[in-house]
Structure 1
């Protein structure tokens, strides 16, 4: 089982208007960041920016 399969059953509850980032992408980014030692929103965002090519191997991260 791949780790990305764990996010298949996450229910999107946000409205279409506010749905810029899929919940699965956010969850994967946060978990990967925590594993790497990033523990606040600012550092998680920096981790995401610095590792976008790697993150896109798992999810589109179109936005």
Structure 2
């Protein structure tokens, strides 16, 4: 769990760290953890550049 929080703190400092998804307003990072890791999708809120986490998936979980 600390690995996820540490990665999210890094995203908070560097909001454009993640890669854009098909929806350009949503970005995604992959957090290595164990065999599969986690996928986090988030958006950047203007004008403050705050990060809003939209979804966290386990790497083996089915995603839309």
TM-score above 0.5: no
More strand per residue: 1 or 2? 2
More helix per residue: 1 or 2? 1
Query: TM-score when scaled to structure 1?
Result: 0.29
